Each structure stands twice: as structure tokens, then as C-alpha cells.
Amino acid sequence: MRTLAIANQKGGSGKTTTSVNLAAALGEQNRRVLMVDLDPQHSATSWFGIRDAGKGVLGIFVDGGSLLDFAQETEVPGVEVAPSSAWLVGVEKILAGELGAETILRRQLAKVPADRWDYVLIDCPPTLGILTINALAAVRELLVPVEAHVMALAGLAQLLHTVEVVQERLNPDLQVTGVLACRVDSRTRHAKEVVDMLREREGSLVFETVIRENIRLAECPSFGQPITRYDSKSHGAADYRALAQEVISQEGRK
């Protein structure tokens, strides 16, 4: 079972878009996927059409709930969701000062049978708070979506520094499995320059796939469907299927 956090503390990076659509594209390839929504904005939960999640995965952090108990089936083949809710907004205050608060999710994930899912993807909030740290402490891999804008590169450097701290103090097994250029407008020179700069700085960490700016990607959350179902022939669907193939090609090397 591969465990991946999808994180970037900068909003607008394509984090939730990547979590939802990569999960769907992996499901198409007969992988069993659990997507854990740790974002209090619960966008990924809504995207999969889950409207009444109660307090959602808050129960993992405050009641010692099992991750297995929160998994819900979706209409997307192969994909289950552990939903979020607005209740997660208060988790920082609830866990303040609690011993071992940073490793709650890791302890629960360790109880999941290794053959239950092929992939666990964790959609992190756009902050570097206790929820994101829990995700980084729990998984073995980090996938970082980065908006194709020069200002986004500074945020990437900050996140990679946080990864080093987590590796040193909480999770020596954590590794960056890939950096994904998102919202790439192929009509502009700026986007191409940013992608080139990203490849120059991070080398082989950067996925060959880039996620092109695509209106159909922007539309599909309103219809509660991943892009692979909303518009299977769109550029967005093609890009996320290509990303899924790259991620699958890493199997056995991670």
C-alpha cells in the first residue's frame, strides 16, 4: 500500500484538483484508492458528491476513531473517501499541547491492513499546521503540486524545508515522490519559463506530465465528478491519466 500526501501550503496550487483527479485516474487503472480529505474546506469531499459527512475525519483526531470506519464508497470506480467537514477548523485548538498530536494519523494508518487499498492519498489543507504535519508524519511519499507562476517557487522551497524537519524529527521514511506543474497555460511564455525553472532546480523530482489550464477542470467540481467522468476526452482528463501512469510506473521503486 502506497501512502502519499498531496500538499502545498500555497492556495491555488491545484492540490485538491490533483487529489481528486489522480485518485479517479488510478481507479481507472484498477487500483483501489482511499482519498483522505484533511482540508476543513472539505472541497474534495464535496467534489465526490458526499454531502452529509457529519464531523468526518475529526473523529480520528479527537475520538481515536479508526480510519477504516470513515471510508465511504463513491460513484467513481475504485475510489473511497474518508470525508472532511468544517469541524476540522477547530482541531489545532483541540490538540494544542497534546503529547504526540503530530502522529495521531500515523498511528491510525498503521492499523490499516496493508492489502486494504493500493493507494492512500491525503489531500492536505493549504497551511503547514497540525493537519499537514500529521499527514507528512504518516505517509512515505509527498506529491507537491505547484502552480506555474514564479511566486509559487518560493512556497515550494518553504515546503521542502518543512519536509527536511519532518524527516529529521518525525518520519525518516518520508520522501518527495514528485513535483507536479499545474495550471500551465501553454499560450504564455511565463508558464513555460516557470516549468523550465522548476526542472532546472528540482531535476528528476519534477514529473514529465504537466497539468494544463483547462476550463473543463474548473467546471467539474460543480457537477460532483472527476474530470475523467465529466469530460473523458478533455485535456484535463488526458493530463491526469498521464500522471497516473507516471505514478504507477514508480510502483516497486517506492
151 Cβ contact partners less than 8 Å away, ≥ 6 residues apart: none
What the block records as the C-alpha cell of 13 is 496550487
Kindly state the helix (H) or strand (E) to which residue 155 belongs, with its residue range: helix 152-169
Residue 17 belongs to some domain of the structure: yes
Buried b (16+ CB within 10 A) or exposed e, 30-67: ebbbbbbbbbbbbbbbbbbebeebebbbbbbbeeebeb
Residue 45 belongs to some domain of the structure: yes
- In this prediction, residue 70 carries a pLDDT of 92
Q: What is the pTM of this model?
A: 0.94
Question: Which of these, 74, 15, 65, 63, lies nearest to 39 by C-alpha position?
Answer: 15
Does the pLDDT at position 109 exceed 90?
yes
The partner residues of 142 in beta bridges, in order of sequence, read 5, 176
Could you tell me the CATH number of the domain that includes residue 185? 3.40.50.300
Nearest 10 degrees: CA dihedral of 181, 183, 186, 191?
A: -60
Report the sign of the C-alpha dihedral through residues 202, 205, 209, 215, in that order. Answer: negative
**Arithmetic mean of pLDDT, 18-26:** 97
- In this prediction, residue 214 carries a pLDDT of 87
Residue 107 belongs to some domain of the structure: yes
Containing structural domain, residue 186: 2-249
CB 112 within 8 A of CB 87: no
- The total domain count for the chain is 1
Q: Are strands 119-123 and 79-82 parallel, antiparallel or unpaired?
A: unpaired
The 10s digit of each residue's pLDDT in 120-160 is 999 999 888 899 999 999 999 999 999 888 777 778 888 88
Distance CA 71, CA 187 (A): 41
The partner residues of 119 in beta bridges, in order of sequence, read 2, 33
Residue 25 belongs to some domain of the structure: yes
The 10s digit of each residue's pLDDT in 196-251 is 888 988 889 999 999 998 899 999 999 999 999 999 999 999 999 999 999 999 98
Residue 254 belongs to some domain of the structure: no
Confidence of residue 71 (pLDDT cuts 50, 70, 90): very high
